[in-house]
């Protein structure tokens, strides 16, 4: 099934499959391919319209009977960590951050496997081998960084890799494409720390937003995102303050769904020109 705008790119819809966030529901995605010539422009523009990147594809949930998945981002200038988040920052102050061009390593993959086995053993990535992992990290046509966090050397004398984030650099923020961390460090709340540190990185770079992916009302797996202040969600075609999470319960009702053709017609495309180097 294909839907085409008057100008490139073309948008497609995936076949339905079980939803990973809400039991008993089926998910479907609207997506388009990224090409090197316009990749950065499309990633910048469509991220502002609720899309996410996966390798060389931009996608947005477009389910037949549910509109619960809402793209979420933090307004950096307005964000103030809570008391608990300040404790997490202090607890992880000993970690060293380093950002580099996307390149997969054996240490990253070993950490990734431990993370999946403890957190998402039955998820869609559970069978990902090292070659597929390398593709996820390295196959990016846009400006991306691998951000690694290491703990000081222990008895082995080597720093310990404890967290990794694959992060896109947009024209208005940082987009956390995928992150994983040492599952045994539960007390350190590394998932929360990664987001807090990305807010700091965005502040240092003068970027106004940190994009967190999708917040899904009714999903315990995605509920943690609502605990961040200055959070906006992309709802009914516009960004708005999250407010009371309970107000979004109707998003799971089929009457909230806009037809695919209408969704595509509302997508704003940038003026296509060569991608920035």
Q: What is the pLDDT of residue 58?
A: 97
* Rounded Cα gap, residues 190 and 89, in angstroms: 10
- The whole-angstrom separation of Cα 210 and Cα 173 is 5
Task: Report the CATH architecture of 74-214+222-226.
Answer: 3-Layer(aba) Sandwich (3.40)
Average of per-residue pLDDT across 60-84: 95
Contact by Cβ (8 Å): 20, 123: yes
Contact 151, 95 (CB under 8 A): yes
Tell me, yes or no, if the pTM score tops 0.85: yes
Give the pLDDT band (50/70/90) at residue 34: very high
Mean pLDDT over residues 63-76, rounded? Answer: 94
Residue ranges per domain, the chain?
74-214+222-226
pLDDT in tens, 107-118: 999 999 999 988
Contact by Cβ (8 Å): 96, 150: yes
Given a contact cutoff of 8 angstroms between Cβ atoms, the answer to whether 167 and 44 are in contact is no
From residue 59, alpha-carbon distances to 13, 31, 49, 92, 212 in Å are 9, 4, 10, 33, 14
Question: What does the chain come to in residues?
Answer: 277
> Residue 158: what pLDDT?
85
Q: Which two tokens stand for residue 62?
A: 């477009």
SS3 category, 13: strand
The beta-strand segments (E) located in 103-208 are 144-151, 160-169, 173-181
* Token code pair at residue 208: 């106004």
């Amino acid at each position: 099934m294909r839907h085409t705008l008057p100008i490139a790119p073309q948008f497609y819809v995936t076949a339905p499959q079980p939803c990973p966030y809400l039991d008993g529901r089926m998910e479907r995605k609207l997506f388009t391919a990224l090409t090197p010539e316009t990749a950065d422009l499309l990633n910048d523009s469509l991220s502002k319209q609720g899309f996410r990147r996966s390798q060389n594809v931009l996608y947005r949930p477009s389910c037949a009977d549910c509109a619960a998945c809402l793209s979420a981002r933090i307004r950096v200038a307005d964000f103030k960590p809570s008391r608990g988040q300040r404790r997490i920052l202090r607890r992880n102050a000993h970690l060293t951050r380093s950002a580099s061009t996307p390149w997969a390593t054996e240490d990253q993959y070993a950490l990734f496997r431990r993370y999946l086995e403890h957190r998402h053993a039955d998820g869609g990535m559970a069978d990902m081998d090292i070659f597929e992992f390398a593709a996820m990290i390295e196959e990016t046509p846009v400006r991306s960084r691998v951000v690694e966090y290491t703990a000081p050397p222990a008895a082995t004398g080597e720093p310990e890799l404890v967290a990794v984030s694959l992060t896109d650099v947009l024209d208005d923020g940082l987009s956390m494409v995928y992150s994983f961390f040492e599952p045994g460090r539960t007390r350190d709340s590394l998932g929360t720390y990664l987001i807090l540190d990305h807010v700091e990185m965005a502040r240092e770079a003068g970027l106004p937003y940190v994009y967190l992916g999708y917040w899904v009302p009714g999903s315990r797996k995605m509920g943690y995102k609502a605990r961040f202040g200055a959070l906006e969600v992309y709802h009914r075609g516009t960004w708005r303050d999250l407010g009371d999470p309970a107000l979004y319960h109707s998003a799971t009702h089929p009457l909230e769904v806009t037809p695919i053709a209408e969704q595509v017609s509302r997508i704003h495309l940038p003026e296509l020109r060569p991608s920035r180097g």
